[in-house]
């Protein structure tokens, strides 16, 4: 089948793209948290951003698998010696799963590297979607979206060697603005989806949000590992009960368009995270959050913080002032900038050329 795959991709290429996200209530999507807190119906909010990661599959010149991605040197290995501990190891692991001898995978991302927007998970999901389309052309059955999400998550978690959440893959797969409820049934899906707004409402929601890259890459494993160790020890369990409640309050408020209540819940949640891990906000992120608060807005880190991005939610008439303040703050850090990112109503998209 792998030889047929290369033959197919000598005549055409397959492209897939998936969005990244902003979020609230992350970490609750990691099993150790949602199993212990299942009686609270824990959930995570995210909104897909129109900052897409695009992947292209085509035939390689040799029988090796090659991966090219902006910000990294292209890497090429024989399939069964491809290293999973490489910076592009998740992509190589997916290539091995699909027996992609002689395939060149190109990854292009609209979001900054290590920006805590879920870009690596979006890339993984897009690669899986592209391979799935290629194998459909060879007569295989299509992979259901839920299984694509599970496959992307499981490969990423296995390669990284740590428990990972599921929200990044879900935002990439489905797009839009959603709450994800984490379930504990061993035989059923691991999530339930609540759509919080349609396309027209999402366009209005865009006017209330702002996203900035702080110029400093994040390392999510460090912060998540700290949170998990604290949680497992029992020392911070009470704070996570509060975080689960505040996330539910935030989701309910966004659903009802009660944005002052959503902002209040957002800021309280960040304060709890800061009590547990003060370094979840670096100095420039602190300044961005404070500027938003001074203009009656909420602001928080994306993903696990400690670098990456900050996003704000506020009243529409306040956002221009916050944008001006943030622009001045970001000018002090090399590489920091506002992101031109609206809400993306679409999840993963696939095409063939």
109-161 pLDDT, tens digit each? 999 888 899 999 999 999 999 999 999 999 999 999 999 999 999 999 999 98
Question: Residue 100 and residue 57: Cα distance in Å, rounded?
Answer: 10
Handedness of CA 241, 20, 170, 30 (dihedral sign): negative
Domain parsing of the chain, residue ranges: 2-197+344-352, 199-338
Question: Residue 254 and residue 24: Cα distance in Å, rounded?
Answer: 11
Nearest Cα to Cα of residue 288 among 190, 210, 198: 210
pLDDT for 1 equals 53
119, 113 Cβ separation under 8 angstroms = yes
Q: How far is CA 38 from CA 79, 154, 166, 177, 232, in A?
A: 41, 21, 16, 23, 15
Residue ranges of the chain with per-residue pLDDT less than 50: none
pTM given for the model: 0.94
In the chain, what is the straight-line distance between the N-terminal and C-terminal CA atoms, in Å?
A: 21
309, 115 Cβ separation under 8 angstroms = yes
Are domains 2-197+344-352 and 199-338 of this chain identical in fold?
no
pLDDT for 268 equals 98
Kindly report the CA angle at 260 between 258 and 261, in degrees rounded to 5? 70
The topology (CATH level 3) of 2-197+344-352 is: Ribosomal Protein S5; domain 2 (3.30.230)
Strand-strand pairing, 65-69 and 75-77:
antiparallel
Domain 199-338: which CATH class? alpha beta
Q: Tens digits of per-residue pLDDT, 68-122?
A: 998 788 999 999 999 999 999 999 999 999 999 999 999 999 998 888 999 999 9
pLDDT for 3 equals 82
- Spell out where the chain has E strands: 14-24, 43-59, 65-69, 75-77, 103-109, 177-182, 191-195, 209-213, 298-301, 309-313, 337-338, 349-352
């Amino acid at each position: 089948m792998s030889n047929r795959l290369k033959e197919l991709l000598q005549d055409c290429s397959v492209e897939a793209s998936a969005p990244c996200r902003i979020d609230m209530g992350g970490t609750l999507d990691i099993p150790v948290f949602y199993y212990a807190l299942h009686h609270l119906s824990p959930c995570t909010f995210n909104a897909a951003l129109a900052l897409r990661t695009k992947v292209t599959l085509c035939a390689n010149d040799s029988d090796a698998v090659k991966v090219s991605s902006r910000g990294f040197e292209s890497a090429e290995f024989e399939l069964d010696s491809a290293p999973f501990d490489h910076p592009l190891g998740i992509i190589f692991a997916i290539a091995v799963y699909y027996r992609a001898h002689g395939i060149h995978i190109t990854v292009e991302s609209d979001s900054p590297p290590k920006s805590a927007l879920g870009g690596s998970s979006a890339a993984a999901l897009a690669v899986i979607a592209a391979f799935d389309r290629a194998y459909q052309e060879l007569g295989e059955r299509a992979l259901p979206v839920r299984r694509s999400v599970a496959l992307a998550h499981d490969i990423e978690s296995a390669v990284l060697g740590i428990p990972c959440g599921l929200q990044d893959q879900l935002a990439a797969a489905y797009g839009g603005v959603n709450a994800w409820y984490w379930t504990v049934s061993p035989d059923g899906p691991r999530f339930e989806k609540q759509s919080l707004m349609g396309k027209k409402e999402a366009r209005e929601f865009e006017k209330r949000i702002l996203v900035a890259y702080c110029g400093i890459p994040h390392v999510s494993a460090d912060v998540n590992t700290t949170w998990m160790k604290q949680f497992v020890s029992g020392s911070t369990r009470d704070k996570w009960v509060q975080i689960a409640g505040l996330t539910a309050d935030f989701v309910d408020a966004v659903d009802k368009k009660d944005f002052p209540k959503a902002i209040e819940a957002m800021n309280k949640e960040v304060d709890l995270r800061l009590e547990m891990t003060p370094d979840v906000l670096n100095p420039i992120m602190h300044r961005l959050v404070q500027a938003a608060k001074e203009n009656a807005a909420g602001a928080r880190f994306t993903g696990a913080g400690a670098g990456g991005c900050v996003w704000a939610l506020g009243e529409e008439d306040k956002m221009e002032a916050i944008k001006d303040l943030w622009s001045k703050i970001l000018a002090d850090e090399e590489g920091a900038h506002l992101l031109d990112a609206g809400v993306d109503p679409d999840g993963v998209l696939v095409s063939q050329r």
